[in-house]
Amino acid sequence: MAYLYKITRDGRDFFASADDQPRFFVGRRVPYKDNIGLYNIFSGSRLAKLNFEAANFTGRFGFWAEFIEPTARCEGRNFLTLNSYDRAAFTFGFGQFAAHVAGGDFVHYLRAMLALPDARDYFPHLVLHDGHIHSIDGLGQRVELEDTSSTRGLMKYLNPTLDEVEDAEVIAAARLIHWTTQSQAARDAQVDQMVGTFKSFVADADKRLSIHNRTADQCCIIADILHHGRGGRMTWPLIAEALTRTRPFDALLAIGSGEWEERRRVLRAAIGANANFKTKRWDSARNDFV
């Protein structure tokens, strides 16, 4: 049976309740440049503390659970992290998966969520068809929301405009927050996606730049750069040049340093706190760390 969500507002803060369950925090209305949206990771936030901890997932993913943790810390670390105020229209999860990328991490994550047995309880109007996300309109017809070239329909479904916080936006966020809070499988879907994404980043770097025998700390910085998008069009040349330096870790970390000092600080500290990042090395033949 699908949950019925009720929205309540307290000043700038939005809450929701599912059926007769207690209300929970969804996000705060915030301005960003010319946009208005929701955000829920800030000092004093009433968001439930549901943080990603690598130790809870090493049994399943081994070192890969540790490998994604520094970036998770940079992105808020909370499985319930939300923002809906920038060009991505809707970003969710401890890895901040963004809805604007066709075939990107958010799309793959939401497809995995919709394949779970309880999907209809949370998103009764979304279905998978031919491998893509569709909505069900008032006539019971399927409407494709994303394909190989665009997520425009999905973005509008989740967040109709960037002009103001709308009910549809709050409800979409509430559904994901509630589902993720209630379900271990929903949290597993985030970790599955984050690990898969980071595996693809390292494999791509190996293919482009030959990173065999590079330590995991260097590989982690490369993966974080690709996930975050630092470097723009010059990302790969900047990474290639950094790997030629005497201290490649520091050179990689410096990419995008002018604007992202706090991220660099968190990333360095998280990597430095885990000795495995110095001892593990990438093995091209095994396509894994050893």
Residue with tokens 């091209």: 284
> How many Å apart are CA 219 and CA 225, to the nearest integer?
10
Percent of the chain with pLDDT over 70: 100
Domain boundaries, the chain: 5-187, 210-289
Count CB neighbours of 12 within 10 A.
11
The pLDDT, as a whole number, for residue 46 is 95
Return the exposure string of 218-252: e unless at least 16 CB atoms fall within 10 Å of the residue's CB, then b. bbbbbbbbbbbebbeeebbebbeebbeeeebbebb
pLDDT in tens, 232-254: 888 999 999 999 999 999 999 99
Count CB neighbours of 272 within 10 A.
12
| Tokens linked to 163 | 């002009």
Nearest to 103 by CA among 166, 145, 63: 145
> How many Å apart are CA 198 and CA 191, to the nearest integer?
11
Give the distance from CA 231 to its chain's centroid.
19
pLDDT in tens, 73-119: 999 999 999 999 999 999 999 999 999 999 999 999 999 999 999 99
If you average pLDDT over residues 268-276, what whole number do you get?
A: 97
If you average pLDDT over residues 18-41, what whole number do you get?
A: 96
The pLDDT, as a whole number, for residue 31 is 96
User: Exposed, middle or buried: residue 266 (CB in 10 Å: 0-12, 13-18, 19+)?
Assistant: middle
| Tokens linked to 258 | 């002018």
Residue 132 confidence (pLDDT) above 90 = yes
Per-residue confidence at 256, pLDDT binned at 50, 70, 90?
A: confident
Instruction: Please state whether 9 falls in left (phi above 0), alpha (psi between -120 and 50) or beta.
Output: beta
Nearest to 123 by CA among 179, 165, 78: 179
As a whole number, the mean pLDDT across the chain is: 96
User: Could you tell me the sign of the dihedral formed by the alpha carbons of 282, 284, 288, 290, in that order?
Assistant: negative
Nearest to 229 by CA among 206, 197, 193, 188: 197
Single-letter amino acid code for the residue at 3: Y
Count CB neighbours of 271 within 10 A.
25
Residue 258 confidence (pLDDT) above 80 = no
pLDDT in tens, 200-243: 999 999 999 999 999 999 999 999 999 998 888 889 999 999 99
Task: Name the 3-class secondary structure at 217.
Answer: helix
pLDDT in tens, 173-191: 999 999 999 999 999 999 9
